[in-house]
Amino acid sequence: MKIVIVLVCLIVLTFSYFKFKNIEEVKPLDYSQKSNWVAYPQNPDKKIDVFYIYPTIYAEKKPFNMDVNRADLREKAQHLLLAQAGVFSSSANLYAPFYQQTTFLNLNPNKDMFKDKYLLYGAKDVENAFNYYLKHSDRPFILAGDSQGSVVLLYLMRKNFNDPELQKRLVAAYLIGYSITDEDLEKYPWIKFAKSFNDNHVVISYNTQAPGATGSPVLKPKAHCINPL
């Protein structure tokens, strides 16, 4: 009887382990594989690049990070590339990685997103994609994101842009639909908010909520805002 109980316990523990592992384990993407890019120009012919990160398109309970190989999610990312970054297509080379973003259900206004391991999986994908991009382009660039895309680009700027060469190459960072706060500007002095229409090496950001919306995970106290009009 004791042997049977022990075996049952081992089976339950083994099942639980693999179930947990399948949910938790998120492997980095290989950005030398062009299938891991929403857009990667083969013959860039413009003088400037746009590095674009799509917003939250995944909203399921499990797993906590999206599968970038799902056809429906790839189609959503492609659609948003055209809808949001398409405005740059006539004047810039568009680079846009797929990334294993966290589900919308995991975004919580009461926690620090930059300490959330599921969001960081996606943020580190974006960092790896950006590093791959830098190895293959020496042109000036624009960063452009929306919502969770702006969150992970802000993570990238916090972590990597205390670098004069990157600051010099940055034309502007459009971090739309997420908050750039007093704390960001004080703690990361290389992040500078735009003050006039012809500023370079700066951030442009504004709120994208409807009037009266509450409980947003992306609108923070003491957020800075530039009127898009």
Q: What is the pLDDT of residue 2?
A: 52
pTM above 0.75, yes or no: yes
**pLDDT tens-digit readout, 156-200:** 999 999 999 999 999 999 999 888 999 999 999 999 999 988 899
Cβ proximity of 152 and 99 under 8 Å: yes
Nearest-angstrom CA–CA distance, 32 and 29: 9
What is the identity of the amino acid at 124?
A: K
Ordered strands of the 141-146 beta sheet:
37-39, 93-97, 49-53, 141-146, 170-176, 202-204
- Residue by residue, pLDDT tens for the chain (229 residues) are 555 444 444 444 444 433 434 445 789 999 999 999 999 999 999 999 999 999 999 999 999 999 999 999 999 999 999 999 999 999 999 999 999 999 988 887 677 888 899 999 999 999 999 999 999 999 999 999 999 999 999 999 999 999 999 999 999 999 998 889 999 999 999 999 999 888 999 999 987 777 777 766 667 778 888 877 6
CA atoms 27, 33, 39, 41: torsion sign:
positive
